[in-house]
Copies of this chain bind each other. A is one copy, B any other.
Amino acid sequence: MKVSSPMKKPYLLTPGPTVLPESVVTAFAQPILHHRSPEFEKLFAQVKEDIKYVFQTEKEVLILSCTGTGAMEASITNLFSAGDKVITVNAGKFGERWTKLSKAFGLKPVEILIERGQTLDVRKLSEVVAANQDAKAILFQAHETSTGVVLPTQEIAKIARDANMLSLCDAITATGAFNLPMDEWGLDVVISGSQKAMMIPPGLAFIALSDKAWSATETSTIPHFYFDLKKERKAHAAHQTAWTPAVSLIQGLKEALRLIHEEGLDNRFKRHHMLAKATRAGVKAMGLELLSEVPSPSVTAVRIPETLVNGKKIPSIMREKYGVTIAGGQDELTGKIIRISHFGYIGEFDITTGLACLELTLNDLGHKVKFGSGVGAALEVFSQEGLR
């Protein structure tokens, strides 16, 4: 007997938007606040304070009403001038965006192009830095979301500092996902977004600057208006924003930050590591290979076997037939990988659900997998790590 039912529960295992905690969802059912009211200022003061913990910084974390690319643009247009040389690390689609952004505003990027799935070789970076001592900054990702690769952020920050360059870190799928202590590592700019480990919908971006980065804003000459970090810093000091902010998202952010504080960053990072380890064990048990040389606690990128006819249909079958949304590859990786996310409001049984669905889908496509093998490998990890 074949069951055919219109009831298909949705599951979201993408690297952003990520699934929202129930208490964040209900936060959006609060009456909206006026942004020039004492109630908003009280809310904003608390959010500004609470978010520093997630960034592991004493600096002000500016909250902008845009998505991540807007904050990346803000860092370019507020810190540099046309003609400035910068070093960009292109390990995937988002590293490439640093290069495109730099060119769009007249900077001269020296790009380090890295094979997809590989991480940055710090010796290579040191060579490029030595050959370009006039560069103003190194622009990179802490985690390249398109390939699920972690980059050596602490080492990059040190190389930049030693060469008197700024380090600009896109941490959009890193902040709150794994350890990235901005102040301790001496990062000059850290950028993140709302719809990732911060567990709220897209529409806010976050950016924190070191004193050295703030100094650079004094000499920058690229025109900007909506993204004016000095104006935002001044407004934030009065618990306000330069322009009307996305109020409801900030209301949700307050609750999400409460949850992050309650869990504690250390526990959170351990949970993400465990979920990632279980996901890797699960896909390997199905005979699949990882794309990433240094796989991340945020996202696992898995190669689709070349022998698998119609392998590129995996994400659409998972979504349409079973209700589980994962991500495919982007640009040159389209049809070549799938990406399963495991950070934010994700628990053990979200991972077993994703793996169970992948087992069904692989068998549907003729890649025979023993049912329970992937899930079993993940459960093995959960049992051993014994976090709870």
Contact = CB atoms under 8 A, between A and B. Distances in A.
A42 to B, nearest CB: 13
Nearest to A67: B244
A317 B165 CA distance: 52
Given A17-B35, A35-B202, 20 more contacts: A17-B34, A17-B247, A25-B28, A26-B29, A34-B325, A36-B327, A37-B319, A65-B70, A65-B202, A66-B70, A67-B244, A67-B245, A73-B226, A104-B223, A105-B223, A193-B244, A195-B247, A201-B246, A202-B244, A203-B249
A310 interface: no
21 contacts: A10-B31, A12-B34, A17-B32, A19-B31, A20-B31, A26-B29, A29-B29, A32-B201, A34-B325, A38-B319, A65-B70, A66-B66, A66-B70, A67-B246, A69-B225, A104-B224, A193-B244, A201-B248, A201-B249, A202-B248, A223-B223
Interface string A1-30: 000000000101010110110000110110
Contacts of A76: 225
A101 interface: yes
A246 B201 CA distance: 7
- Count of this chain's copies in the oligomeric assembly: 2
Contact of A203 (B38, B224, B246): B246
Contact of A67 (B65, B193, B319, B327): B65
Interface of A: 10, 12, 14, 16-17, 19-20, 25-26, 28-29, 31-38, 65-70, 73, 76, 100-101, 104-106, 193, 195, 201-203, 222-227, 243-249, 319-320, 325, 327
B70 A28 contact: no
A247 to B, nearest CB: 6
A247 B246 CA distance: 13
A274 to B, nearest CB: 24
A105 B225 contact: yes
A201 B226 CA distance: 19
A17 B38 CA distance: 15
Nearest to A73: B226
Contacts of A201: 32, 246-249
B226 A69 contact: yes
